[in-house]
Amino acid sequence: LPRSTEPAPAAALAAIWCDVLGVEAIGPDDDFWDLGGNSLYAIRIGALARERGLPAVPLRQLYLTPTLGALSEALSLRA
């Protein structure tokens, strides 16, 4: 499959993180776990991403790429 040339929608992911984590703003270097993330929040983020038409966000991916920027980049490579 060809790789997507467009980055994963970081702004949409940031909005989901803000909603789930209860914070006002998220930067590309903010760490999901440092912001109070946990496995239940990670599952919720994955569900909201699917609902909003974004690439799937597996729990394992959040462990491997816990910052918004790294996660967005990883998802764009998988898309």
Write out the two tokens for 66.
């816990």
Distance CA 21, CA 10 (A): 16
Query: Do the Cβ atoms of 74 and 15 come closer than 8 Å?
Result: no
Q: What is the pTM of this model?
A: 0.83
* CATH architecture of the domain covering 10-78: Orthogonal Bundle (1.10)
Distance CA 32, CA 76 (A): 18
Residues of the chain with pLDDT under 50: 1-7
Q: What is the total residue count of the chain? A: 79
State the CB neighbour count (10 A cutoff) for residue 37: 18
What are the structural domain ranges in the chain? 10-78
Measured between alpha carbons, how far apart are the two ends of the chain, in Å? 9
pLDDT at residue number 56 = 86
pLDDT at residue number 76 = 83
